Amino acid sequence: MPRRRSLTARGIGALVAGLGCLIAANLVGAPILLYIGVLLIAVTAFAVLAVRAPRRSGSVARQISTDLLTVSETSRVTVRFSLRALRVPRALWRDVLPEAVSGDSAGEYPSETGQLSYLITGVRRGVWPIGPLVLRTVDPFGLAQREQAFGETRSVTVVPEVFTLAPLTVKVGAAGGTAHTSSSRLGQGSDNLSPRRYVSGDSMRRIHWRATAHRGQLMVRQEEEESSPDALVILDRSASRWERPGDEADPAFETAVSMCASVAVHLVQEGYGVDVIDSAGTLLGTLRGHEDDRDGLLVALALTAPRGEARDVVALVGGTPPGPLVYITGRIDEEDAARLRPAGAAAPLLFATALEPGAKDVAAQQGWRVADLGEDITEAWEDVLPDRVGLAPAEPQGRAR
pLDDT for res 98: 93
Chain segment 78-87, per-residue pLDDT in tens: 999 988 888 8
pTM higher than the cut 0.85: no
pLDDT for res 73: 94
Cα(106)–Cα(333) distance, integer angstroms: 49
Cα(235)–Cα(310) distance, integer angstroms: 10
pLDDT for res 243: 85
Backbone angles phi, psi at 187, to 5 degrees: -85, -20
C-beta atoms surrounding 354 within 10 Å: 17
Cα(149)–Cα(160) distance, integer angstroms: 31
End-to-end Cα separation, the chain, in angstroms: 44
CB-neighbour burial class of residue 107 (10 A; exposed 0-12, middle 13-18, buried 19+): middle
Q: Show Cβ contacts of residue 46 under 8 Å, excluding neighbours closer than 6 positions.
A: none
Which residue positions in the chain have pLDDT lower than 50?
173-192, 223-228, 388-401
Q: What does each C-alpha distance from 292 to 67, 272, 277, 352 come to in angstroms? A: 12, 16, 17, 29
